[in-house]
Amino acid sequence: MGDKSLDNDAMDIIERYLYGTWMLQKKWSPQLLISDGEGAYLIDKDGKKYLDFSSQLVCVNLGYKNRELIKALHKQIDKIAYVGPALGLEIRAEAAKAFASIAPKNLIKFVFSSSGTEANEDALKIARLYKNPCYKIIARYRSYHGSTATSMSLTGDLRRTVVEYHTNVRGTVFAPDPYCYRCPFNLEYPKCGVACAEYLEYMIEREKNVAAIFMEPITGTNGVIVPPPEYYKIIREIADKYGVLLIFDEVMSGWGRTGEWFAHQRWGVEADIMTTAKGASSSYVPIGITATTKAISDYFEDHFFAVGHTFAYHPLAMAALTAVIRVMKEHNYVYHAKRLGGYIRKRLFELMSKHPSIGDIRGVGLFWAVELVKNRNRKTPFNTDEDKILGRPLVTGEVASRMRELGVLVMYWITHLVIAPPLIVDTDDIDRGIDALDEALKVADEKVEK
Ligand X SMILES: Cc1ncc(COP(=O)(O)O)c(C=O)c1O
The rounded distance, in Å, linking the Cα atoms of 268 and 266 is 6
Beta carbon nearer to ligand X, 140 or 347: 140
Q: H or E segment at 370?
A: strand 367-375
In the complex, the smallest distance separating the C-beta of residue 117 from ligand X, rounded to whole angstroms, is 3
In the complex, the smallest distance separating the C-beta of residue 413 from ligand X, rounded to whole angstroms, is 11
3-state DSSP helix/strand/coil percent for the chain, to nearest 5? 40, 15, 40
The answer to whether 144 contacts ligand X (rule: CB under 6 A) is yes
In the complex, the smallest distance separating the C-beta of residue 115 from ligand X, rounded to whole angstroms, is 4
In the chain, the N- to C-terminal Cα span, in Å, equals 59
The answer to whether 251 contacts ligand X (rule: CB under 6 A) is yes
Count the neighbouring beta carbons within 10 Å of the beta carbon of residue 309. Answer: 17
Beta carbon nearer to ligand X, 148 or 375: 148
The answer to whether 252 contacts ligand X (rule: CB under 6 A) is yes
Count the neighbouring beta carbons within 10 Å of the beta carbon of residue 285. Answer: 21
Count the neighbouring beta carbons within 10 Å of the beta carbon of residue 59. Answer: 22
In the complex, the smallest distance separating the C-beta of residue 449 from ligand X, rounded to whole angstroms, is 32
In the complex, the smallest distance separating the C-beta of residue 23 from ligand X, rounded to whole angstroms, is 15
Nearby residues of 12 by Cβ (< 8 Å), 6 or more positions away: 5, 6
Of 152, 213, 148, 128, residue with least CA distance to 178: 213
The answer to whether 146 contacts ligand X (rule: CB under 6 A) is yes
Q: How far is CA 209 from CA 108, 240, 245, in A?
A: 26, 15, 12
- Count Cα neighbours of 320 within 13 Å in the Cβ-side half-sphere: 27
The answer to whether 145 contacts ligand X (rule: CB under 6 A) is yes
The answer to whether 249 contacts ligand X (rule: CB under 6 A) is yes
**Across-strand partners of 360?**
371
Beta carbon nearer to ligand X, 140 or 432: 140
Q: Which residue is nearest to ligand X (CB)?
A: 116
In the complex, the smallest distance separating the C-beta of residue 57 from ligand X, rounded to whole angstroms, is 6
In the complex, the smallest distance separating the C-beta of residue 42 from ligand X, rounded to whole angstroms, is 19
Position among 104, 116, 171, 227 found at the interface with ligand X (CB under 6 A) = 116
- Count Cα neighbours of 435 within 13 Å in the Cβ-side half-sphere: 9
**96-115 footprint of ligand X as x/- string (CB under 6 A):** -------------------x
What is the DSSP annotation of 78-123?
Answer: HH-S---TTS--HHHHHHHHHHHHHS-TT--EEEEESSHHHHHHHH
Cα 264 from chain centroid (whole Å): 13
Beta carbon nearer to ligand X, 142 or 402: 142
Position among 117, 150, 290, 357 found at the interface with ligand X (CB under 6 A) = 117
- Contact region for ligand X (CB under 6 A) — 25-33, 143-151, 194-202, 408-416? 143-151
- Contact region for ligand X (CB under 6 A) — 133-141, 244-252, 404-412, 434-442? 244-252
Beta carbon nearer to ligand X, 55 or 221: 221
The answer to whether 277 contacts ligand X (rule: CB under 6 A) is yes
Strand-strand pairing, 273-276 and 49-52: unpaired
Q: Which residues in the 193-232 window bind ligand X by CB under 6 A? A: 216, 220-221
- Interface with ligand X (CB under 6 A): 57, 115-117, 120, 144-146, 216, 220-221, 249, 251-252, 277
